[in-house]
Every structure is written in C-alpha cells, then in structure tokens.
C-alpha cells in the first residue's frame, strides 16, 4: 500500500505536468490527504467500538492458563487471596466488564494450627455468603476413568465474582479463603450454565 507521502508526490507531479488541471488535482490531493486519514481512523476504531459493545454484557471467565509458578501458604482467619492464574486473569481483564467463575477453599486456624472444617460449617458459611448477595452455581467437571476411556462427571459449587466483589469480599473472621479456577482433567474449561444457580444449600447436600 502506498504511503500518504507517495500519493501526495504523485499529485504534485501531475500538477506540474498539466498546469491547466492544477486546480482540479489540488482539490483531489487535499481530499486524499485529509479525508483518507479520517476514514482510516473510523475503520480502525470500528473494531474497538464493537468489542466495547460486546463487553457491555459481562463475560464470564472460567479458566486462565499461566506458566507462572504457584506456591501458597494457607490464609489466616479473616484473610483471602486468589491463586496465581486468577490474579493473572484479573490483570488481563482489569478494564473489562467480566466476572470470574471460581471455587472457594475454606481454611480454619485455631491456636496457630489449621483444623478440618466440617461439612455443616462449610454449608453455613456458603449460606452466609449467599445472604450477603453472592451467587453460587452447581457446575460439573470431568475426570478420566482409570483406563482413560471414559469421562466421569462430578458436581462442584462455584461462585461468580466481579473484580469489585473480589476486592471487597466479605470474609468472615472465622475462616480464611482462597479462590481458584476449576478445569477438566485435560485442563479444558468447564461448561457453565447460568440457570444452575443454587437456591438451597440444604437441598444440594441432601
């Protein structure tokens, strides 16, 4: 593709060769020099406009791959943090209208030691968070059987959080929390249906 300079040089050359058409070519050159950049600008920004409109409806991030090393210490009561892949996704989508589909791990510290959390405690904490306005979903992930010939599906509870909700997460002083993505055994993304919202944790665990 020729540059604007090359196009302008050609116009000026013709003006010199054909004096009688000078005014005509001058108008053409001005049109090329001033209108073409504007047209190009509109074309380039059309894609940005489409992307921005697309992201007006929140996109749900269910997985993010990273090669960064991951090592953690359990959070203390009242603390929470995201695992590396979640933080990397948050950096990438910081200015976008997205939500993250995450699994919560609970930790409980007692006199400097971490103790097991009973199922009843786990359910009660999920209920508390649900009452705070957080949405939980029943999602399935799969693992291969021993012979790698069949996919076996397992249910898991996931929470959907925006960046603002992650920053202002309403943690209890009784637990520590970590947030992570869940994938299938081959690291593919799990399937998510927004209609599978959990309305009763008691019914879920029956």
Rounded mean pLDDT for each run of 10 residues along the chain, 206 residues in total: 47 46 45 42 36 53 86 90 95 94 95 91 95 95 94 96 96 96 95 90 64
- Among candidate residues 20, 35, 54, the one where a domain is terminated: 54
What is the Cα–Cα distance from 56 to 145, expressed in whole angstroms?
41
What is the Cα–Cα distance from 24 to 26, expressed in whole angstroms?
5
Q: According to the model, what pLDDT value does residue 69 have?
A: 73
Q: Based on the fold, state whether residues 35 and 83 are members of the same structural domain.
A: no
Q: Based on the fold, state whether residues 119 and 32 are members of the same structural domain.
A: no
- Among candidate residues 37, 54, 71, the one where a domain is terminated: 54
Asked if 104 and 159 touch (Cβ cutoff 8 Å), the reply is: yes
Q: Based on the fold, state whether residues 48 and 87 are members of the same structural domain.
A: no
Which structural domain, as residue segments, surrounds residue 118?
A: 59-204
Q: Based on the fold, state whether residues 25 and 86 are members of the same structural domain.
A: no
Q: Based on the fold, state whether residues 22 and 111 are members of the same structural domain.
A: no
Q: According to the model, what pLDDT value does residue 13 have?
A: 46
Q: According to the model, what pLDDT value does residue 139 have?
A: 95
Q: Based on the fold, state whether residues 101 and 45 are members of the same structural domain.
A: no
Q: Based on the fold, state whether residues 95 and 111 are members of the same structural domain.
A: yes
Provide the domain count of the chain: 2
What is the Cα–Cα distance from 29 to 27, expressed in whole angstroms?
5
Asked if 153 and 142 touch (Cβ cutoff 8 Å), the reply is: yes
Q: Based on the fold, state whether residues 49 and 92 are members of the same structural domain.
A: no
Q: Based on the fold, state whether residues 146 and 188 are members of the same structural domain.
A: yes
Q: Based on the fold, state whether residues 165 and 88 are members of the same structural domain.
A: yes
Confidence (pTM): 0.69
Q: Based on the fold, state whether residues 144 and 191 are members of the same structural domain.
A: yes
Q: Based on the fold, state whether residues 65 and 39 are members of the same structural domain.
A: no
- Among candidate residues 34, 54, 74, the one where a domain is terminated: 54
Pairing of strands 135-144, 80-82: unpaired
């Amino acid at each position: 593709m020729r540059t604007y300079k090359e196009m302008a040089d050609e116009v000026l050359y013709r003006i010199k060769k054909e004096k009688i058409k000078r005014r005509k070519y001058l108008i053409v050159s001005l049109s090329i020099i001033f209108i073409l950049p504007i047209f190009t600008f509109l074309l380039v920004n059309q894609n940005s406009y489409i992307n921005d409109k697309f992201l007006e409806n929140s996109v749900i991030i269910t997985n993010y791959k990273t090669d960064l090393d991951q090592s953690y210490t359990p959070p203390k009561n009242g603390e929470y943090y995201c695992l590396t892949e979640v933080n990397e996704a948050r950096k990438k989508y910081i200015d976008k209208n997205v939500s993250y589909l995450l699994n919560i791990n609970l930790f409980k510290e007692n006199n400097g030691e971490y103790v097991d959390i009973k199922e009843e405690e786990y359910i009660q904490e999920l209920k508390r968070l649900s009452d705070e306005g957080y949405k939980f979903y029943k999602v399935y992930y799969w693992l291969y059987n021993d012979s790698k010939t069949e996919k076996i599906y397992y249910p898991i509870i996931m929470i959907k959080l925006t960046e603002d909700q992650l920053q202002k997460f309403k943690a209890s002083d009784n637990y520590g929390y970590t947030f992570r993505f869940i994938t299938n055994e081959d690291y593919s993304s799990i399937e998510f249906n927004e209609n599978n919202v959990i309305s009763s944790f008691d019914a879920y665990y029956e």
